[in-house]
A and B are shown apart, each in its own frame.
Chain A
Amino acid sequence: MTYLRQTLRSSLQAAFGALILAALCLAAPQPAPAAGAEQPGTVCIQCHGSLPDRLGAPVKLWRASIHAENGISCNGCHGGDPKDAADAMNRSRGFLGAPKEGEIPAFCGRCHPGVMKDYLASAHGRALGQGGPTCVTCHGNHAVVKASLELINEKSCTRCHSFERARAIRDAMQQTEGYIVGIDRRIRGFQAQGVDTDRLGQGLFAVRNRFHTMFHDVDVARVKGESARINAELGKLDRDLKVVEEARAKRKIAGGIAVAGLLLMAVLFHLLRKTYD
C-alpha cells in the first residue's frame, strides 16, 4: 500500500513537472533576436544592410531618417520589387536607380508635389542646373531630415551665399515653428495615452505643410503675412487640445473623489471590525 502510494505520488510529481515545463515553455517570453528582428519585408535592406562602404552606407543613413520613421523604404523612392531579390533592381519591375542632379526635384516631387512646385518657383529652383541647390543639398539624401527651421542655418546657407536674408526669414517664422513644435508635442503626448489624435494630427500636418511651403520663399513680407494666418489655424488646434486637457483634468478630479471615498470606507470598515473584536 505504501509502495503504491509512493509510486502514485512520484507519478503525480513527474506528470505535474512535465505540465509545468510545458506551460513555461509556452508562456515564458524570450528576448527578440538582435539581428533578424526586422521582418523579411524588403530584400533591399537585407542585401545592402550587409554590404560594406558605399553600397551599405545608405541603409545606415536611412535608418535614422524621417523616411524610415514613417515607414518609407528604399523602394518608395528607387522603385523595384522589394520582395524579389533576383529582380529587385530590374527596370521592368519599376526600378529607377539614383537620379541625376537635374532630375532630383522631380524624383522627390513624386511624393512632395507641392514642395517641388514651391522649390521650382523659388530662387533656388530657378538656379537648378546652374549651380543652384537641389532638395538633397539641404534635406540630405538617405539621411533625410524632417523639414524644420534648423535647416536654415549659417553653416548650410553660406555654402552658396550670405546668411542675412535667410536669417530675416527664419526669424519671421520662429514663433510659428515654436507653436507647431509645442502643439505637436501635446498631440504626441495624448496619442501616447490612447487619445484618438488622428484629426488633430492631420490638421497639424496640413498646417505644417503650408508652413513648410514658405521655406523656399525669399519674400520677407509675404512670409510674415502667411505666418500670421498659420498662427490663427494653430490657435484652433490649440483650443481643441485644451478641450481634451480639461476633460482629462475632470477625470482626475472624479478619480480623486473615488479614491478618497474608498479609503474612507476602508477606515470605516476597519473601525467597525474593531468594535466586534
Chain B
Amino acid sequence: MGLFKRLYDWIDLRIGAREIVEKELTGYLLPRNINGWYSLGSVLLVIFALQVATGTLLMIYYVPDAEKAFKSVTFIMNELPYGWLIRLCHAVGSNMMVAVLLLHMLSTMMMGSYKSPRELNWLTGFILFTLVQGISLTGYLAPWSQLSFWATTVATNSAAAIPVAGPYLVEFLRGGKLVGPPTLGRFFALHVAVMPVTIAALIGAHLFVLKRTGISTPPFGGELSRNPWPVQSYRYHGHPGGIPFFPNYLLQDLTSICIYLAIFLAVVFYAPSLLFTPDAFIPANPFQTPAHIKPEWYFLANYQTLKIFPSELLGLSVQAAAMTFLALLPFIDRSPERNPLKRPVFLVCAIGGFLLWVGLTIWGHFS
C-alpha cells in the first residue's frame, strides 16, 4: 500500500492526478435517480474494446486472401490454442454489440434523453449504430464461407436498386461484376482499418459531447421530467447534490458489465450455433447457391420490407425514410417533456414501431 501511495504521489506531482480524479471520478456528480440503463454506454465501450482485442489477435493468423481465408479461419478454430474462443468471442461480440446498441438507443428514446440540447449525442450515437452495422457486414465476408459469400452477394446487390448509378456502385463495392477476391480485399481494409478508426473517433466525439452537455436526468422520480431550460446559450447540466461517479455509479457499471459478460459467455460456450448456420463452415463456392440465404438477424426486418414492396427502390426508399426520421428525431420532436407516460403519442409510435420491427424480423426469419 505504501508503494502504491508513493507511486500515486509521484504521478500526482507530475500530472496532477488527484485533481483529475477529483474532477472526473469522485467529484463527477450524477443525478440521484440515475438508473441501470445509463450503464449500457459503459457496456458498449467494453464490447468495443473486446472486439478490438480479439480482432487484433485474429489478424495474427487470419489471411485475407480468397484462397487461404477459409483455411486460416479453420486453423484458428481448430489448431490454435484458444483460437476457437477468440474467434467465437469476436463473432458473437459483433452481434451482441448491435443488440446492446439497440437497447442503448431504445432506452435513450424512452427517457427522451435525445432531446435538446442533446441532439449531437443522438446524432453521433445514430451514426455509430450504422457504422457498427457496417463493420459487422464487412466482417461477415472475412471467413470466406458459403454464408459469407452469399450474404455479401445479397447485401451488395441491394445497391443495384438505386437508379442509374446502382450497377456501377455494385461493381465498385465488389471490385468486379461478382463477389470475389477483390471484394474480400476491400471489405477487409474497411473492416480492420477504416471503420474501427472511424468508430473510435465517433465514440470520442460522443463522449466529448456527453461531457460538455452533462448527463441527462431520468424523467422518472422526484425531479422535473421536462428539460429545465431552453437552449439559448451553452450551459453545462450539472447535478449538485448528486451521487459521485466513483465509487457509486462505477459499481453500477461493473454490475452491468458482469451481467453482460455472463450472457455473452453463455452464448459463446453454450449456443454459438444461434448465430452460425452450417453454411458458415463450408468454404465459399460461387457455383453452389445455398437453399436459404438470409442476412444477419438485425437486417431481417430490412430484408422482409424489401420483399413486401413490389419495387426494390420503393422498399429501399421507405426504409431510408424511416431511418432518416429516426436520425432526425431530436429535430422533429421539440417538446420539452421527457416522461414517456406524459407523451402518449410518442409512446404509441415508439412501441408500435418497435413491435413492427420485431414482427418484420420474425417474418423475415421464417419467410
Q: Give A residues with C-beta under 8 Å from B.
A: 9, 13, 16-17, 20-21, 23-33, 37-39, 41-42, 71, 73, 188, 191-196, 251-252, 254-256, 258-259, 262-263, 265-266, 269-270, 272-273, 276-277
Query: In the docked arrangement, what's the CA distance between A29 and B255, Å?
Result: 36
> Contacts of A20 on B, CB cut-off 8 Å?
130, 320, 323-324, 327
> Contacts of B181 on A, CB cut-off 8 Å?
none
Binds A, one of B50-58, B158-166, B220-228, B352-360: B158-166
Which among A16, A29, A38 has the highest number of chain B CB atoms within 10 Å? Answer: A29
The A-contacting residues of B in range 130-155, CB under 8 angstroms, are: 130, 133-134, 137, 150-151, 153-155
Query: In the docked arrangement, what's the CA distance between A42 and B77, Å?
Result: 34
B335 within 8 Å of A (CB atoms):
no
> Contacts of A32 on B, CB cut-off 8 Å?
150, 153-154, 157, 289, 293
B331 within 8 Å of A (CB atoms):
yes
**A-B interface contact total, Cβ < 8 Å:** 169
Residue of chain B at shortest CB distance from A198: B74
Interchain CB contact (< 8 A) of B162 among A25, A188, A194: A25
B286 within 8 Å of A (CB atoms):
yes
Q: Are A17 and B324 in contact (CB under 8 A)?
A: yes
B233 within 8 Å of A (CB atoms):
no
B265 within 8 Å of A (CB atoms):
yes
> Contacts of A42 on B, CB cut-off 8 Å?
287
Known contacts A25-B316, A26-B173; A71 and B151 CB within 8 A of each other:
no
Q: Are A256 and B258 in contact (CB under 8 A)?
A: no
- Count of chain B residues with Cβ under 8 Å from any Cβ of A? 69
Residue of chain B at shortest CB distance from A12: B331
Q: Are A252 and B269 in contact (CB under 8 A)?
A: yes
Binds A, one of B7-15, B106-114, B299-307, B340-348: B299-307
Interchain CB contact (< 8 A) of B255 among A9, A25, A188, A266: A266
Interchain CB contact (< 8 A) of B137 among A13, A27, A192: A27
B21 within 8 Å of A (CB atoms):
no
Query: In the docked arrangement, what's the CA distance between A189 and B255, Å?
Result: 36
B31 within 8 Å of A (CB atoms):
no
Query: Top 8 nearest A-B pairs by Cβ distance?
Result: A255-B269, A266-B258, A273-B251, A192-B278, A30-B158, A262-B262, A196-B78, A29-B155
Known contacts A259-B266, A263-B262; A191 and B299 CB within 8 A of each other:
no
Q: Are B331 and A37 in contact (CB under 8 A)?
A: no
Q: Are B272 and A193 in contact (CB under 8 A)?
A: yes
> Contacts of A21 on B, CB cut-off 8 Å?
320, 324
> Contacts of B159 on A, CB cut-off 8 Å?
25-26
Residue of chain A at shortest CB distance from B158: A30
Q: Are B288 and A71 in contact (CB under 8 A)?
A: yes
Interchain CB contact (< 8 A) of A258 among B265, B273, B302: B265
Which among A26, A27, A37, A39 has the highest number of chain B CB atoms within 10 Å? Answer: A27
Residue of chain A at shortest CB distance from B312: A30
> Contacts of B286 on A, CB cut-off 8 Å?
39, 41
A30 smallest CB distance to B (angstroms): 4
Beyond contacts A31-B307, A37-B293: 14 other A-B pairs, Cβ-Cβ < 8 A, are: A16-B328, A20-B130, A23-B134, A24-B316, A27-B133, A28-B299, A29-B157, A193-B281, A194-B74, A252-B270, A269-B252, A269-B255, A276-B243, A277-B248
Q: Are B154 and A29 in contact (CB under 8 A)?
A: yes
> Contacts of A269 on B, CB cut-off 8 Å?
251-252, 254-255, 258
> Contacts of B266 on A, CB cut-off 8 Å?
255, 259
Interchain CB contact (< 8 A) of A17 among B157, B278, B328: B328
> Contacts of A39 on B, CB cut-off 8 Å?
178, 286-287, 289
Q: Give B residues with C-beta under 8 Å from A.
A: 74, 77-79, 84, 87, 123, 130, 133-134, 137, 150-151, 153-155, 157-159, 161-162, 169, 173, 178, 243, 247-248, 251-252, 254-255, 258-259, 261-262, 265-266, 268-270, 272-273, 276-278, 280-282, 285-289, 293, 295, 299, 302-303, 306-307, 312, 316, 319-320, 323-324, 327-328, 331
Q: Are B273 and A24 in contact (CB under 8 A)?
A: no
Interchain CB contact (< 8 A) of A194 among B151, B280, B306: B280
Residue of chain A at shortest CB distance from B179: A39
> Contacts of A256 on B, CB cut-off 8 Å?
269
Q: Are B328 and A71 in contact (CB under 8 A)?
A: no
Q: Are B173 and A28 in contact (CB under 8 A)?
A: no
Query: In the docked arrangement, what's the CA distance between A39 and B178, Å?
Result: 9
> Contacts of B248 on A, CB cut-off 8 Å?
273, 276-277
Q: Are B278 and A30 in contact (CB under 8 A)?
A: no
Query: In the docked arrangement, what's the CA distance between A250 and B46, Å?
Result: 27
Query: In the docked arrangement, what's the CA distance between A265 and B265, Å?
Result: 14
Interchain CB contact (< 8 A) of B302 among A29, A188, A273: A29
Known contacts A38-B289, A252-B269; A29 and B262 CB within 8 A of each other:
no
Query: In the docked arrangement, what's the CA distance between A240 and B1, Å?
Result: 53
Ordered by A's residue number, 15 sampled pairs between the chains whose C-beta atoms are within 8 Å are A21-B324, A24-B319, A29-B157, A30-B161, A30-B303, A32-B153, A32-B293, A251-B269, A259-B266, A262-B261, A266-B259, A266-B262, A269-B255, A270-B255, A272-B247
Query: In the docked arrangement, what's the CA distance between A70 and B348, Å?
Result: 52
Residue of chain B at shortest CB distance from A263: B262
> Contacts of A194 on B, CB cut-off 8 Å?
74, 77-78, 84, 87, 276, 280-281
> Contacts of B87 on A, CB cut-off 8 Å?
194
A46 smallest CB distance to B (angstroms): 13
